[in-house]
A and B are shown apart, each in its own frame.
Chain A
Amino acid sequence: MSASQFEPLPMTSTQPTPPPAPSAEPNPIREAIAEAIAEHKVILFMKGTPEAPGCGFSARTVAALQALDTPFAAVDVLPDPRIRQELSAISDWPTIPQLFIDGELIGGCDIVTEMYESGELAQALV
């Protein structure tokens, strides 16, 4: 007797549907962050504002961008801890600041400073 003689088991219709993946749940903060990254050529997520940075690493990153006369969007992560949480989930990067150019994570303060000093940052901003 061959296997083809069996009726297909009716299991698929009775199995519970798997729960949706976490990423399928609506997440307005994450979506707003992703949208902001996509919409701005240069965007910096930082503590405080460019005028009043809330941390030395953010201040140094702002200074590098300002030294190159680059217009950039800035997002203060301090008002709501979820901004930082969702940003790090998107970028797979644990610290603040985070600089994005053309939708891509360039890095934090160390990388931005290194790239500023080597001239690579100016090139990336063209």
Chain B
Amino acid sequence: MPSAEDIRQRIETAIPGAQADVEDYTGGGDHFRATVTATAFDGLSRVQQHRLVYEVFGAEIGGAIHALALKTQTPSKTQTL
């Protein structure tokens, strides 16, 4: 059963430059919530950004990982001027 830390590491390893905050919001190791910030999302639609993250886990989404709630953003959006 993956931990929030496992999920975070896998996202950050698979998407270069990504920074992920992951929470196991039921504590059961199968429902996660992640906020992922990556320059790789630049110029992509939200659907394409979420696909990049889903692809890290393949068939585990809907299987061992029952839910992975996502918020994706590019670094420029989080910068405060």
User: What is A's interface to B at a CB cutoff of 8 Å?
Assistant: 57, 92-95, 105-111, 114-115
Q: Chain A at the B interface: mostly helix, strand, loop or mixed?
A: mixed
Residues of B within 8 A of A111 (CB): 46-47, 50
User: What is B's interface to A at a CB cutoff of 8 Å?
Assistant: 46-47, 50-51, 54, 59, 61-62, 67-71
Assess A107 versus B47: contact at CB under 8 Å? Given A93-B54, A94-B54, A94-B61.
yes
Expressed in whole angstroms, the minimum distance between the Cβ of B67 and any Cβ of chain A is 7
Assess A107 versus B71: contact at CB under 8 Å? Given A94-B62, A95-B61, A95-B62.
no
Residues of A within 8 A of B61 (CB): 94-95
Expressed in whole angstroms, the minimum distance between the Cβ of B21 and any Cβ of chain A is 14
